């Protein structure tokens, strides 16, 4: 497995002035890959200011061109220097009604445009309490695999993000993360995907205080960081924990 990947998800935050302060405070420590996924209008600014840090977006259209008002294609993101794009974040699933199948098509569109999709999967608290974690995660993964096929599935990054841990300050425990990441890796292997090469990130209230413990787990290949990626000092401390 390559170096760990730590990706920041800025969500709907930022301004030209705030971004400059934040971006000027980022450097990539040796031995870890760092990415920031910024709102579309700030891709050009971030592309100019980032040094040694990969650029990403937070969503992509399943279409490449045509009468789809408001959509942004993978080829457009690639022109702005994006390497990564988040696909299927739980906020997109829940607030914008993105289906498992549409997320599969977005992952395919990303790969066709030579972007690496960071595909988010994860259960709600009700689903966890009903003992359905792998039923849900397996269904979400299967929808992506259906569209991509086995070989392309080996090229995505996965982010296990339990919905109840996102933005709540309540991270999943190390035991919970280790269990689900191991099950995801085994699920991929069972489907014939080259599972050892797939980076599986953890996301959900990762902070400087819990990052090292989570990143030390066997099947955790980095993190997807929301709130803490908006403060340079915190984000850098999380990145250093992944070295």
Residues forming the site for ligand PEP (CB under 6 A): 9, 11, 161, 166-167, 203-206, 224-228
**Residue of 89, 98, 123, 181 marked active site:** 89
Q: How far apart are CA 27 and CA 119, in angstroms?
A: 25
The answer to the question of whether 90 is labelled as a binding residue is no
For 15, 24, 127, 183, the CA distances from 135, given in Å and listed in that order, are 40, 42, 9, 11
Does the annotation place 47 within a ligand binding site?
no
To the question of whether residue 11 is assigned a binding role by annotation, the answer is: yes
Q: Which is nearer to ligand PEP, 181 or 193 (CB)?
A: 181
177, 134 contact by CB (below 8 A): no
Helices (H), the chain: 16-24, 43-49, 74-79, 90-95, 100-112, 125-129, 133-153, 174-190, 211-215, 232-240
- 130: helix, coil or strand? coil
Residue among 63 and 240 whose Cβ is closer to ligand PEP: 240
Minimum CB distance to ligand PEP smaller for 144 or for 193: 144
Q: How far apart are CA 34 and CA 48, in angstroms?
A: 16
Catalytic residue (one of 33, 91, 123, 161): 161
- Asked if 18 is an active-site residue, the reply is no
Q: Strand, coil or helix: what is 118?
A: strand
**Least distance between ligand PEP and beta carbon 129 (Å):** 20
Q: Which residue is nearest to ligand PEP (CB)?
A: 226
Tell me, what DSSP letter sits at residue 27?
Answer: -
Q: Which is nearer to ligand PEP, 81 or 167 (CB)?
A: 167
Residue 3 marked ligand-binding? no
CB of 143 to ligand PEP, least distance (A): 19
Does 99 count as an annotated binding residue? no
- The answer to whether residue 151 is catalytic is no
Tell me which residues are annotated as active site: 89, 161
Instruction: List, as residue ranges, the binding site for substrate.
Output: 9-11, 167, 205, 226-227
């Amino acid at each position: 497995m390559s170096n760990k990947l730590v990706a920041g998800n800025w969500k709907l935050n930022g301004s030209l002035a705030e971004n400059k302060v934040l971006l000027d405070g980022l450097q990539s420590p040796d031995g870890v890959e760092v990415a920031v996924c910024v709102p579309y209008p700030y891709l050009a600014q971030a592309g100019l200011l980032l040094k040694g840090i990969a650029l990403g977006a937070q969503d992509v259209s399943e279409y490449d061109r045509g009468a789809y008002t408001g959509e942004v294609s993978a080829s457009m993101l690639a022109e702005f220097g994006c390497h990564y794009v988040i696909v299927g974040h739980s906020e997109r699933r829940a607030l914008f009604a993105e289906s498992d199948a549409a997320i599969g098509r977005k992952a395919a569109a990303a790969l066709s445009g030579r972007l690496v999709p960071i595909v988010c999967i994860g259960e709600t608290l009700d689903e966890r309490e009903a003992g359905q974690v792998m039923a849900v995660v397996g269904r979400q993964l299967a929808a992506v695999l259906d569209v991509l096929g086995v070989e392309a599935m080996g090229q995505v990054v996965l982010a296990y993000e339990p919905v109840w841990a996102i933005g709540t300050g309540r991270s999943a425990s190390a035991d919970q993360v280790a269990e689900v990441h191991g099950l995801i890796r085994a699920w991929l292997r069972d489907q014939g995907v080259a599972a050892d090469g797939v980076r599986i990130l953890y996301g959900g209230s990762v902070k400087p205080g819990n990052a090292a413990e989570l990143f030390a787990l066997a099947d955790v290949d980095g993190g997807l960081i929301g709130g803490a990626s908006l403060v340079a000092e915190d984000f850098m401390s999380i990145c250093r924990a992944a070295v």
